[in-house]
Structure 1
């Protein structure tokens, strides 16, 4: 799953709430109105898209504050899941 695909999923969640789309990876989640419940929904959508349950690093999750942080988090999490399948 690519960064753009994850961003598309984020934008679908934001659009459903009538919020503007993510255009800048440096955007702060709080300023965008992207809340923890939105992150949970995004996680479920990513899991469905990759067809696997993902394990999340709680310490890493606490440091997420920007769109880039979200994208990096999911890229790393997906890579770890795939590495565990080998």
Structure 2
């Protein structure tokens, strides 16, 4: 069985929590961690090159700040990826498909 290839956008508390959750699922694999800031993480990728990963990611988890990041990133990334939007102010995730 092929694993679901997941990438995380934003590596604050939510992104780190998502990484742990993915690691606990045998059918999922974290393939990239995208961030505006440079990270000391083996899967770090700069956010500016995210669209190059369109064919390498099955689902994108948006874990940025809801007040500033999600309103801008959500619509932009929806044109390229399946994604799950998650913020500290939401109790459920919203799945969107391009």
Question: Is this a same-fold pair by TM over 0.5?
Answer: no
More strand by share: 2
After TM superposition, the score normalised by the length of structure 2 is 0.26
TM-score (norm 1): 0.28
Q: Normalized per residue, which structure has more helix?
A: 1
